[in-house]
Amino acid sequence: MAELNSSPEKNATGRTPRKKLSAKVDLTAMVDLAFLLLTFFMVTTSLLKPQMFGLAMPDKSQPGDEAISEKRTMTICLGKNNQVVSYLGMTDKPLTDPQITGYGKGGIRQAIIETAKRVTASTGKDLFVIIKPSDHSIYDNLVATLDEVHIAGATGYAIEDITSKEVALLKQKGVY
């Protein structure tokens, strides 16, 4: 820690001059603490992994020519109050009746899993999910839907703008 040198020295006349105190501070404990903090922050930052997944969006200037059969396309329209309308096929002629669900295990995740099983059994190909957020949905709903699609194991998905026909469907269901 700190030590003081207080031994008096005699000069040539035999008198003891005023005491000269020299202070020394032992910084060993401070260096140990600095290394401990440095190690702690390095370990905690290396343990924190980002909790996100990549999202690749196609270039809108170049329209794609990849047609996906409506028999394996599930459309999910995000509405207000954390409600979702989902159906198999396109808006003009859905292959299944539009269903209103919520988020979570028993909601949209279960609908995606069941639809994926039916599509794989009938077509032999994977399900493709189209997510269409409305003006009344919140950003958290889009993220939750992407998480549910990822958890359900759907390999292909796209985020598209909602059309006026889909808005009319949401209004009809009371979700817009």
Give the pLDDT confidence of 117-137 residue by residue, as tens digits.
999 999 888 999 999 999 999
Beta bridge partners of 22: 5
> How many angstroms from the chain centroid is the CA of residue 163?
27
State percent of the chain over pLDDT 90.
Answer: 43
Residues 85, 103: Cα–Cα separation, whole Å: 11
For residue 147, the number of C-alpha atoms closer than 13 Å in the C-beta half-sphere is: 12
The SS3 of residue 139 is helix
For residue range 134-147, what is the model confidence (pLDDT) as tens digits?
Answer: 999 999 999 999 99
| CATH 3.30.70.520 applies to domain 70-173 | no
Domain range annotation of the chain? 2-47, 70-173
